[in-house]
Structure 1
Amino acid sequence: MPYLKTWTTVGIAAVVVAAAAIAVPVLTGGDAVPSAADRTPTATASTMPSVPDVDATALAALPEARYSAVVGGLLPVDRTVSSAEVFRLRADAPLFGSDRQHPVARFAAADFLGQPTTVVGLRHEGAWELVLTPARQELPSAADGHAAAQTAAWVPRDTLVQQATPTSHVVISTADQTVSIVSSSGQVSRSFPAGIGTSDTPTPTGVTGYLEQRYVDPAQGTGDHPIQLTSLHSSAADEPYGGSDGGLIGLHWNAAAAGAVSHGCVRLSSDGVAAIDALPLGTLVTVE
């Protein structure tokens, strides 16, 4: 895996985990996706496209939809969702855009930490699952600072292995500057003050991502508190923190965990980080 440049504590970058010698992101501060209001198939068997064959050579040649990638064929997500299912991959899998005929990228079965990739599915249609991805569809510099913060794609459902569904989700309120854990019934179980992005480097709003991965990196000024990495990206700037992490948005500890103080990431107290850390990967994260 190529080494990623290490960032300052106000952005997300990449560091090397000494024990495993793995480069990881480090925190520092086309067609729209179809509606995913529920998981009920919206097409009949006769109208759903069949899954094309993608041989191993063609699959390996596709760009990986990882946190630092930009893949134009992905579907931009510009809305919030409240329900999803969590999966793992049986092996590397092709990702398709709106036509579901030509693969545009691949999901690697192992993520950047060498652990099983967490996949979040929004809706199934026969042999297909609409999933969120950790890659970008477009850079903010190519979209007047209004790029999609989240992307989605179609994946063959037989490449997925279903996991336990999270019973809670995370809601970040930029207006109230809080992070809340909300149950499936809509009840807030815990809420914490939070530091959010400034007006020049805002935290993206009106979108849902998911907890992609977590790791500890004291070199980034987050102490021994695990960095909670989401699949969301800055909509306003390509690399608001500097480095080459793709403008990722994370939730992490910082002594200044209140006000509009970050480059887009969400800063929390130690209690807040611990509460998010207790949630399973794949948990939805909505920013309002």
Structure 2
Amino acid sequence: MPKSRVLAVAVSVVATLSLAACGSPSAPQTSAPPTPSATATAAAPMPAVPSLSRSEIAALPAAVYDAVIPGLLPAPAEPIAAPAACRVMFDAPLFAADFSTPVARIPATDFRGQRTVVVPVRIDGPWALVLTPARQVLPSQVAAGEPAAPAQTAAWMPAASLSGKKTLATSVRISVAAQTLSILDAAGTVTDSWSVGVGTDETPTPTGVTGYLQARYTDADQGQPEHPIQLTSLHATAADEPFGGSDGGLIGIHYFEQSSGAVSHGCVRLPAAAIDAVNALPLGSLVVIED
């Protein structure tokens, strides 16, 4: 994918939870926690959100597309239930698994100056577990024998910082093996599907992971003056910068004339009809990438 400046981008979702509303959660969820390290024990009440001043929040690193923040969590490995996306109303702190250590902040606006969209995958008392657009670790920093760098990260944030609930009625499923992209309705039924281009063996598209559409824009300098680049929250796991630029190793969904085969640096290349269909989906729509 051509990348001359800021670039970001790119999972089948099984709904197992239900979010009452962004920023106004009801009783804590009683379903099993997504990961042992990402939540408090079932018997213990959720702790209160620590109070931070504006200056303390501003001093935290921003969890954006090219940031590497060790305190973030790998996204839950289990199927993610996220029937809604929300907006961040003001810079909000992100906390580690202990619910007390602030590790980053989600800016109220993204690099386009638009309101940041996040996807809460769990609401528990005053807390929301959200997917984040930053990395936890670079692939080059992972020692042999250790788990690969996660393609998607998560963190806990104050649920009260979220607003503008938008129900997600559709999602995107990408099969790397079949080299297809499908759009699914709320029932999980495929409504449309296309053949697409995926990553090569040397620069693979990550699989077994769920992210979301976080932003979109057109850019003539990147060869995309007409069809918006779809920016996701996912990152490459085999190389820090597969394209050799400074885009944070983001996995993108974008138009390209050659849109079939294992041909990309990890992004997903779509024909015009497919990118137009993805562009019609609301931001926050989940993107599931399978083997």
Tell me the TM-score range normalised by the shorter chain. Answer: 0.7 to 0.9
TM-score (norm 1): 0.86
Matched-pair contact (CA < 8 Å) for 1:80–1:208:
no
Q: Deviations over 1:7-39 (max 9, x none)?
A: xxx35452xxxxxxxxx4267x9xxxxxx9424
What is the total number of aligned residue pairs between the two structures? 263
Which residue is equivalent to 1:263? 265
Question: How far is 1:89 from its partner?
Answer: 1.5
Q: 1:240 to 1:144 in 2, by over 3 A?
A: farther
Matched-pair contact (CA < 8 Å) for 1:122–1:131:
yes
Question: How far is 1:46 from its partner?
Answer: 5.2
Question: Among residues 206, 209, 212, which one is paired with 2:211 in the alignment?
Answer: 209
Greater CA drift, 135-144 or 119-128: 135-144
Q: Distance in 2 between matches of 1:71 and 1:87?
A: 22
Matched-pair contact (CA < 8 Å) for 1:226–1:252:
yes
Question: Among residues 41, 44, 49, which one is paired with 2:29 in the alignment?
Answer: 41
Which residue is equivalent to 1:140? 139
Matches of residues 145-164 of structure 1 in structure 2 within 5 Å? 146-164=148-166
Question: How far is 1:206 from its partner?
Answer: 0.2
Q: Deviations over 1:185-227 (max 9, x none)?
A: 0110010110000000000000000001000012212341110
Q: Distance in 2 between matches of 1:59 and 1:150?
A: 23
For the aligned residues, what is the CA RMSD? 2.0
Q: 1:285 to 1:111 in 2, by over 3 A?
A: same
Q: Distance in 1 between matches of 2:137 and 2:42?
A: 32
**Where do 5+ consecutive residues of structure 1 fail to align?**
1-9, 15-23, 30-35
Q: Distance in 2 between matches of 1:253 and 1:115?
A: 23
Q: Distance in 1 between matches of 2:103 and 2:113?
A: 23
Q: Distance in 2 between matches of 1:115 and 1:49?
A: 32
| Paired residue type of 1:120 | V
| Paired residue type of 1:212 | Q
Greater CA drift, 125-134 or 138-147: 138-147
Question: Among residues 58, 74, 83, which one is paired with 2:72 in the alignment?
Answer: 74
**Where do 5+ consecutive residues of structure 2 fail to align?**
19-27, 31-40
Question: Among residues 171, 174, 182, which one is paired with 2:173 in the alignment?
Answer: 171
Which residue is equivalent to 1:7? none
| Paired residue type of 2:128 | E
Which residue is equivalent to 1:62? 60
Q: Distance in 2 between matches of 1:234 and 1:255?
A: 22
Q: Which has the higher contact order (CA 8 A, sep 6+)?
A: 2
Greater CA drift, 138-147 or 212-221: 138-147
Q: 1:277 to 1:136 in 2, by over 3 A?
A: same
| Paired residue type of 2:101 | H
Which residue is equivalent to 1:25? 7
Q: Distance in 1 between matches of 2:56 and 2:202?
A: 41
